[in-house]
Structure 1
Amino acid sequence: MSLENYGILKGKPKDWKKGKGKNAHFQILVHDGKSEHRVAVNVNSRVAPSELLYFVDDNFIHPIIEKLPELEMGYRNVDRSSRDLRLDYVRGGLFDTSKMVPLECDIPGPSNDLNELIQKYVDKAADMDGGMLYAFGERWGPESFLPDSFFGFRPGSGIHDIHMNQGNSEKWQADDAPYQDGGLLIHLPEDDRWVAIFLAFQSQCFNTDDFTGHCLPDAPVQKKPETASQECDVKEPESIDEGSVLIVGALVNPEGTDSGKESVTLFNASPKAIDLAGWSLKDAAGRKSNLKGKIRAGSGTRILFSGKGVILSNSGGTISLYDNHGNLMHEVNYSSREVRSGWTLVF
């Protein structure tokens, strides 16, 4: 299996937001001359070690940069026959992967973390006449007329998986394939140079199968340097059986303004209390709201949405519950016919 919608987004960066917390993303607002898009760049992993590996070439030279300026603005899907427009960290001759090092995303002080490193070059492209960003990864959207959850433009649209997409650990092996790695290439015409930003998770390997992209049996997994912070060396939380926590209700269409009033009700059917730290809810468009707190055995809890994550569409949709390992625990669907103003749907 591989990424279904791999391609390139070309546009002018306009704004950005730093990523914080588990599974943090540096968010970039890009305009293609007609529409806006969001580029979601992983800067932290929710799986320890949390720091991503990175490599920056601030004078990048490679045959691919001769083809990129010819592309039209906006998103372009790149099929597998066009390898010259696809990134591959292992086979593409892009850079020396042994030079990738881990870096935290949020460190007190200026110009010392991964957020600020990406921001530095995005700002250069935004401020420079003709400065252009090319994001390689997987597209999502357009999301009907729903607003983007970070920048508010409509319809929501963007690109993610801006990192190595092969050599994954067993849990994410389904996303493996050669010639589909993500990354950022930034053209700074006034400086007559290109900047390349490449990212990978420490759980990934760089000795991969030419056909599947899976780690080869003798491939060592990237190790966290002994000198790095040991904050992430913690015991993995105990796994919870699927169906232990269920989605039992949803207020999709509150009376009055929806923002801050939509909610989902969860029920713990198991015989023990469950800590929801690291759990999340997602809507049909993939927007996510993180959960926290504990839910007692045989009890329920109501989750209110702020409007910055999950948005429940009145025209029908899907609500999915994920545990702290990213496993799907429960999922429900509803149609527009079931939605009534002020009424909670019961599943």
Structure 2
Amino acid sequence: MDSVNFAPGKVYGVLRANVIADNGESYSHKSGASHYNLLSVDNQQSETPEEYQINIDIQSLQSANVKCISIDPFITSLIPFSSIPFGFTSLESNDTNELALDLVRRPVFDLNLLIESQPLTADEIAMKLDVYFKNNKPNVIIFGTKYDDKHTLEESHYGLQRAQRENKPARGINDIHMNQIVREDGRAYQDGALFIQNNDQDNTYAAFFFCFDNQCKTEASSEENSIDHHHHHHHD
């Protein structure tokens, strides 16, 4: 299976951590993108717990282009939440890994709910997230990619800039959205998602799923653009 080409140094996996600060919505003048940023700490009770920035893309174009749905409570036996350790666990992107998330090949909810939803503006998504983070500091489980800019020499690098200017940790989690294009082969078992633990109860979470508009067209709109209506799925 092809995997999506994440930027060099990014590792796919899952972070279990406790949110310590909510930076809310922020807009980058350089990229024109809006993110919703949280700070978290992994509570491994070690001498030096690791801190992470959590960077959720909520708009990457001038107009709304991110779809987002939340499901609360999200109760599933398909993701073994209680077996996920605190801290970051890297995951192999394949079907033998029971934790690797693939919203198409191993659905944990009805993906059509996301695909058929309307893109939301950055403010609308931020408001949905604010409900959970403005007044609370919940435990979260986040699927995405980990980056660590401690060792990056490029001054211009996003994580490093924030680390220097704003005293933010140089490591973080990114790509917290679907990382594949629906109805195309490849890029398997490396989707992102956000799960927020409800009142520290073991297996009840609020789930947030995100995808960019161009990743999850509905069948109708993709039919017009595709000559071959019959997708042949070849199994490796």
> CA separation in 1, counterparts of 2:50 and 2:88?
10
> Which residue, 67, 78, 81 being the options, matches 2:91?
78
Match of 2:120 in 1: 103
Asked if structure 1 preserves the Cα contact closer than 8 Å seen for 2:53 and 2:168, the reply is no
TM-score (norm 1): 0.50
Post-superposition shift, 1:50?
A: 3.0
Match of 1:139 in 2: 146
Match of 1:117 in 2: 128
Asked if structure 1 preserves the Cα contact closer than 8 Å seen for 2:139 and 2:200, the reply is no
Unaligned runs of 5+ in 1: 107-112, 209-214, 220-347
Query: RCO higher in 1 or 2 (8 Å CA, sep ≥ 6)?
Result: 2
Post-superposition shift, 1:92?
A: 2.0
* 2:27 alignment partner, SS class: coil
Match of 1:19 in 2: 26
Q: Aligned in 2, Cα 1:191/1:150: closer, same or farther, shift over 3 Å?
A: farther
Q: Aligned in 2, Cα 1:90/1:150: closer, same or farther, shift over 3 Å?
A: farther
Partner AA of 1:24 in structure 2: S
> Which residue, 172, 182, 186 being the options, matches 2:196?
186
> CA separation in 2, counterparts of 1:84 and 1:28?
27
> CA separation in 1, counterparts of 2:89 and 2:227?
31
> CA separation in 1, counterparts of 2:12 and 2:71?
23
Percent of residue pairs bearing the same amino acid type: 25
> Which residue, 85, 89, 92 being the options, matches 2:106?
92
Partner AA of 2:27 in structure 1: K
1:41 aligns with 2:56: yes
Post-superposition shift, 1:9?
A: 1.1
Asked if structure 2 preserves the Cα contact closer than 8 Å seen for 1:165 and 1:182, the reply is yes
> CA separation in 2, counterparts of 1:95 and 1:70?
20
TM-score (norm 2): 0.71
Post-superposition shift, 1:62?
A: 1.8
Match of 1:32 in 2: 42
Partner AA of 1:177 in structure 2: R
Alignment RMSD (CA, Å): 3.3
Asked if structure 1 preserves the Cα contact closer than 8 Å seen for 2:181 and 2:215, the reply is yes
Q: Deviations over 1:226-249 (max 9, x none)?
A: xxxxxxxxxxxxxxxxxxxxxxxx
Asked if structure 2 preserves the Cα contact closer than 8 Å seen for 1:12 and 1:32, the reply is yes
Residues paired across the two proteins, number? 197
More helix by share: 2
> CA separation in 1, counterparts of 2:227 and 2:76?
27
